[in-house]
């Protein structure tokens, strides 16, 4: 662990849970009462929470799973929609002996967390989503500017071609995102980049991560539209954090999410673009401590 917002005697350990049809790899730190689940985005693994796990474990049992198909978790032939991935996490919580958890999700992990909160509200006590707008909202408001910013969504949507083109130069492709969507050079760190490159250099994991994006245009959007028609929204307390210098810097993030959640609060993180847990871990930690129970 390096560059942590605070020092701690706690350590992060690596585990694998056999859920029957899939094995989920997760990092764990601490054993202090409530469970806190941290969900990573793309192109990352649970390693992206390395700066936050130890300080959060002072009051929580903290786990950071690799999502289905990512990192060291299993790569089944399908099931990369957010509903199936969220069901994996629900089973993982119970396999660890808990009935519910507080959940923090970033990027793709935030979309999984959103679906989890809608499908199984009793599973999640408090929810924090980092640097995302609702998938349905993004899809409904795409224009020339947003399409240019989200070009990779449409590239990843194409069958087979992204796998062919990316597999020959995984490091260059990942660095393009990791470096351009950070507010300062070196924010991610070479050790973490090497971790992510190794993870996505496995053909089955690269394919799975692209299937995650493809599901966003199909099963995920259909589920979101159904929830909207039925008036289903997030009922848990919701915290929203986003990068002030990133793609959501000028968006009405809390206003948009107010149509998808009963109660929410939020804040922009300064000197930050997209990768909040790695760019500004101390600020993320501060906001989480104010939001999550047990810190006051």
Span 46-55, mean pLDDT? 97
Among 98, 115, 245, 110, smallest CA distance to 183 is for 245
Matching residue, tokens 């202090």: 32
Q: Is 159 helix (H, G, I), strand (E, B) or coil?
A: coil
pLDDT in tens, 204-257: 999 999 999 999 999 999 999 999 999 999 999 999 999 999 999 999 999 999
Average pLDDT over residues 100-122: 98
Band of residue 2 on the pLDDT scale cut at 50, 70, 90: very low
Task: Give SS3 for 100.
Answer: coil
pLDDT per residue as tens digits for the range 151-176: 999 999 999 999 999 999 999 999 99
Going by pLDDT thresholds of 50, 70 and 90, the confidence category of residue 7 is very low
**Across 282-289, average pLDDT:** 97
Q: Please state the separation of Cα 80 from the chain's center in Å.
A: 14
- Mean local confidence (pLDDT), 22-30: 97
Q: What pLDDT is recorded for position 3?
A: 35
Average pLDDT over residues 49-73: 97
pLDDT at 251: 94
Give yes or no for residue 49 having a pLDDT over 70: yes
| The model's pTM | 0.95
Residue 15 to residues 23, 33, 64, 65, 92, Cα–Cα distance (Å): 10, 19, 10, 9, 12
H or E segment at 161? Answer: helix 161-167
Catalytic residues: 107, 213, 274
pLDDT at 32 over 90: no
Measure CA 121 to chain center. Answer: 18
Note the pLDDT of residue 6: 40
Q: What is the pLDDT of residue 295?
A: 73
Residue 150: HSE in the Cβ half-sphere, 13 Å Cα cutoff: 20
Residue for token pair 């690269």: 206
Query: What is the CB neighbour count within 10 angstroms for residue 189?
Result: 15
Return the minimum-mean-pLDDT range out of 5-19, 203-217, 260-274: 5-19
Q: What is the mean pLDDT of the chain?
A: 94
Q: For tokens 């469970």, name the residue.
A: 35
Q: Are 294 and 65 in contact (CB under 8 A)?
A: no
Phi-psi region of 189 (alpha: psi -120 to 50; beta: other; left: phi over 0): left
Q: What is the pLDDT of residue 201?
A: 98
Element (H, E) at 242: strand 238-243
Residue 226: CB atoms within 10 Å: 11
């Amino acid at each position: 662990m390096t560059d942590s917002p605070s020092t701690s005697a706690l350590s992060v350990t690596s585990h694998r849970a056999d859920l029957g049809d899939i094995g989920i790899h997760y990092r764990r730190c601490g054993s202090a009462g409530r469970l806190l689940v941290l969900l990573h985005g793309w192109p990352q693994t649970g390693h992206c929470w390395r700066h936050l796990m130890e300080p959060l474990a002072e009051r929580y049992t903290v786990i950071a799973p690799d999502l289905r198909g990512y990192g060291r978790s299993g790569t089944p032939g399908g099931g990369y929609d957010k509903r199936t991935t969220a069901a994996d996490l629900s089973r993982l919580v119970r396999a660890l002996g808990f009935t519910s958890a507080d959940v923090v999700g970033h990027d793709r992990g935030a979309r999984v967390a959103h679906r989890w909160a809608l499908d199984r509200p009793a599973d999640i006590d408090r929810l924090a989503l980092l640097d995302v707008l609702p998938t349905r909202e993004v899809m409904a408001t795409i224009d020339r500017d947003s399409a240019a910013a989200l070009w990779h969504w449409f590239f990843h949507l194409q069958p087979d071609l992204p796998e062919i083109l990316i597999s020959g130069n995984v490091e260059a492709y990942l660095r393009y995102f990791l470096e351009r969507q950070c507010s300062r050079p070196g924010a991610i760190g070479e050790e973490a980049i090497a971790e992510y490159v190794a993870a996505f250099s496995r053909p089955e994991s690269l394919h799975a991560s692209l299937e995650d994006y493809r599901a966003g245009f199909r099963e995920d959007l259909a589920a979101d539209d159904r929830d909207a028609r039925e008036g289903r929204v997030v009922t848990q307390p919701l915290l929203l954090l986003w990068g002030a210098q990133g793609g959501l810097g000028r968006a009405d993030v809390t206003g948009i999410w107010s149509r998808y959640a009963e109660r929410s609060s939020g804040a922009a993180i300064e000197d930050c673009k997209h990768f909040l847990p790695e760019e500004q871990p101390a600020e993320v930690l501060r906001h989480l401590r104010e939001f999550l129970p047990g810190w006051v």
